[in-house]
Amino acid sequence: MDNLKKVTKTNTASLKAALDKAAKLKQSDYTASSWKNLTKAVDAGKKVLNNKKASQKDIDKAANSIQKAISNLKKAARGVWKQNAKGWWYDYGNGKWPAGKWESIDGKWYAFDADGYMRTGWFREGNTWYYLTNSGAMATGWVKVGCYWYYLHNNGAMATGWVSVNGTWYYLTNSGAMATGWIKSGQTWYYLTSSGAMATGWIKPGNDWYYLTSSGAMATGWAKVDESWYYLTSSGAMATGWIRLGNNWYYLNASGRMATGWVKLGSSWYYLTSSGAMATGWIKDSGKWYYLTFSGAMATGWIKVNGTWYYLNGSGAMAENTWIGNYYVNSSGAWTKTR
């Protein structure tokens, strides 16, 4: 028992109270130098509080240092807005004011002219435009001025050209005004909806359909959409009906989809190959032969091809190894004898 060390119990209540009191104070209310002294005392007090070997003397000294630093805090000068017939300015509280510069006040940015008056409306600094609201605060994000929308970056700079906002693309003209409708950027056409958002996919802004790729670019020529082929003219308008490209004819139905296989138009049948090109001449489909005229229309009845007569029944299929009235057609469909 004589060899056991005596344990002295310490009381940290006063130190904890001093730290709590300091934590409730606002740095912005006091001068930088007096606040620096308090910060130093608080940091030292926290170390003592976390030191299990600290003596009561060390604890009391730390608590007293914090209390003294709090007592020695000096109130910072409070700025105030003032106004006269010419406009508003900001008094730092010491008889001085910002002039010809930007100033952050209560978390917002304001611009002041050379005489110290707060700016409002559009303001150009260097090559950059900014917009100051009626309160003088610098605008960011979307703002409507007059009839037009503008986008200001987080630093207040007015945007021009393409800008992505929350995953949506918009186009701002050289004046900063948000574009709507058709615009040409470089060699490419884009369509901006009434909200300014760049369109993608199918759109019908008037009487015609257009297709905008995932990049927003207006498609021309052939475009494959959801496993179907469409043809967009040089103006971007979706084609329907018959179109001729090079030496080939294609048929686009009312929805614009390129047709393949057999299609009946009016009273005539046509055959479009897997590439969509209209077939002419002989074709074999499902084991049967058919003949498509120069216009692409499927032939029926007797036809003469390269000096030889053939017979196509009502379905268009070529007759083989059979008599057609008094005329016999062989396995190749050719008329070979008469009875």
Answer whether 66's CB lies under 8 Å from 49's CB. Answer: no
3-class secondary structure, 48: helix
Per-residue pLDDT of the chain (339 residues; tens, 9 = 90+): 455 455 568 899 998 999 999 999 988 788 888 999 999 999 999 998 899 888 999 999 999 999 999 999 988 768 899 999 999 999 988 889 999 999 999 889 999 999 999 999 999 999 999 999 999 999 999 999 999 999 999 999 999 999 999 999 999 999 999 999 999 999 999 999 999 999 999 999 999 999 999 999 999 999 999 999 999 999 999 999 999 999 999 999 999 999 999 999 999 999 999 999 999 999 999 999 999 999 999 999 999 999 999 999 999 999 999 999 999 999 999 999 898
3-class secondary structure, 188: strand
Q: How far apart are CA 187 and CA 203, in angstroms?
A: 20
Answer whether 131's CB lies under 8 Å from 122's CB. Answer: yes
Answer whether 38's CB lies under 8 Å from 29's CB. Answer: no
Q: How far apart are CA 208 and CA 83, in angstroms?
A: 58
Q: How far apart are CA 50 and CA 62, in angstroms?
A: 12
In this structure, how many other beta carbons lie within 10 angstroms of the beta carbon of residue 196?
19
What is the pTM for the complete model shown?
Answer: 0.73
> Max Cα separation, the chain?
144
According to DSSP, the residues that pair with 125 across neighbouring strands are 128
List phi, psi (to 5°) of 47. Answer: -65, -40
Annotate 25-63 with b (16+ C-beta within 10 A) or e (fewer): eeeeebeeebbebbeebbebbeebbeeeebeeebbbebb
Q: How far apart are CA 39 and CA 67, in angstroms?
A: 12
3-class secondary structure, 69: helix
Instruction: Give the pLDDT of residue 3.
Output: 55
Instruction: Give the pLDDT of residue 117.
Output: 97
Report residue 208 CA to chain centroid gap: 25
- Positive or negative torsion for Cα 311, 317, 320, 324: negative
Answer whether 134's CB lies under 8 Å from 120's CB. Answer: yes
Report residue 222 CA to chain centroid gap: 26
